[in-house]
């Protein structure tokens, strides 16, 4: 299947700083990527849909000025957590839709996730 990478895998930062997380599709071009947040022992919560060359679409309740998303190329989307606070500590997972899987219902392939800890 398609491969999606994330960097870094783990990051610890001080409160008030900004953190950038990268999501890359390694063997395919992804016009659409997705960013999820996962709390311990819970399911994934979709934060935003990232479209190459246009503004991201944020889910209700997600602060777009807090979580900046940039999808500047067909293989890279970035999530920047601005002025991070301890409550932003979480597991962030990206996914990319592989258009090669064909037709309707393209499959989403997930990155390995980024563990963010804000002190």
| Residue 53 found at the interface with another protein (CB under 8 A) | no
Spatial contact of 102 and 49, defined as CB atoms under 8 Å apart = no
Query: Which tokens go with 29?
Result: 């071009």
CA dihedral over 116, 59, 25, 41, signed as positive or negative: positive
| Residue 89 found at the interface with another protein (CB under 8 A) | no
| Residue 67 found at the interface with another protein (CB under 8 A) | no
Number of H helices, E strands in the chain: 0, 11
Beta strand pairing status for 32-38 and 90-97?
antiparallel
Comparison of 32 and 75: residue with beta carbon closer to another protein: 32
| Residue 29 found at the interface with another protein (CB under 8 A) | no
Q: Which range, of 11-19, 39-47, 61-69, 79-87, touches another protein by CB under 8 A?
A: 39-47
Give residues in contact with another protein (CB under 8 A): 1, 4, 6, 32, 34, 41-44, 46, 49, 91, 93, 95, 97, 103-113, 115
């Amino acid at each position: 299947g398609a491969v999606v990478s994330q960097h870094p895998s783990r990051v610890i930062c001080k409160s008030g700083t900004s953190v950038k997380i990268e999501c890359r599709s390694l063997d395919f071009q992804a016009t659409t990527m997705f960013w999820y947040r996962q709390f311990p022992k819970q399911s994934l919560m979709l934060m935003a849909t990232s479209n190459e060359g246009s503004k991201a679409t944020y889910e209700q309740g997600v602060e777009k000025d807090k979580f900046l998303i940039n999808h500047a190329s067909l293989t890279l989307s970035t999530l920047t957590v601005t002025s991070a606070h301890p409550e932003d500590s979480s597991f962030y997972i990206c996914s990319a839709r592989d258009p090669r899987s064909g037709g309707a219902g393209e499959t989403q392939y997930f990155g390995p996730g980024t563990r963010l800890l804000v002190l």
